[in-house]
């Protein structure tokens, strides 16, 4: 089945530690996105990538980093510089970039601080 796979589903981070969230898609989509959701809030864009080896900062990129070495993979690293990392992280992808298309989401990773 085609889809977007995020792992792990739950992740715990110690103070001062970097952690990496995985996002893989087999939909052959060009664009991929990372969002953060906090309670009672909408989704806020962290980073996005329209093409392999290229990515752009979203609205809340500070304390995060990404890479896009392969079309199907877009891992997100939450660095120790992110002071409030506890949130629900969602990865999404979209087929094309030149026309209006919906984004499709994975099932998310919940990150908590120990």
Partner 1 sequence: DQQVKQNSPSLSVQEGRISILNCDYTNSMFDYFLWYKKYPAEGPTFLISISSIKDKNEDGRFTVFLNKSAKHLSLHIVPSQPGDSAVYFCAASALRGGSQGNLIFGKGTKLSVKP
> Two tokens at 30?
């060009």
Alpha-carbon distance of 55 to 31, in angstroms, equals 9
Among residues 14, 42, 54, 83, the one that binds partner 1 under rule CB under 8 A: 42
Beta strand 10-13 with 76-78: parallel, antiparallel or unpaired?
Answer: unpaired
Among residues 34, 48, 55, 64, the one that binds partner 1 under rule CB under 8 A: 48
30 binds partner 1 (CB under 8 A): no
Report the residue number, 84 or 100, with the smaller CB distance to partner 1.
100
Among residues 50, 65, 73, 80, the one that binds partner 1 under rule CB under 8 A: 50
Quickly tell me which residue has 């089945």 as its tokens. 1
Q: Is-contact 26 2, C-beta < 8 A? A: yes
83 binds partner 1 (CB under 8 A): no
> Minimum distance from CB of 15 to partner 1 (Å)?
25
Alpha-carbon distance of 83 to 95, in angstroms, equals 33
40 binds partner 1 (CB under 8 A): yes
Q: Is-contact 35 29, C-beta < 8 A? A: no
Q: What is the binding site for partner 1 (CB under 8 A)?
A: 4, 6, 33, 40-45, 48, 50, 56, 58, 88, 90, 92, 94, 97-108, 110
């Amino acid at each position: 089945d085609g889809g977007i796979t995020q792992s792990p589903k739950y992740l715990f981070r110690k103070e001062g530690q970097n952690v990496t969230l995985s996002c893989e898609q087999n939909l052959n989509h060009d664009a991929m996105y990372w969002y953060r959701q906090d309670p009672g809030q909408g989704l806020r864009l962290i980073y996005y990538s329209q093409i392999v080896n290229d990515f752009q900062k979203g609205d809340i990129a500070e304390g995060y980093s990404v890479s896009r070495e392969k079309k199907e993979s877009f891992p997100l690293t939450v660095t120790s510089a992110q002071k409030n990392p506890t949130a629900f992280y969602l990865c999404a992808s979209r087929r094309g970039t030149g026309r209006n298309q919906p984004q499709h989401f994975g099932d998310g990773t919940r990150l908590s601080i120990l």
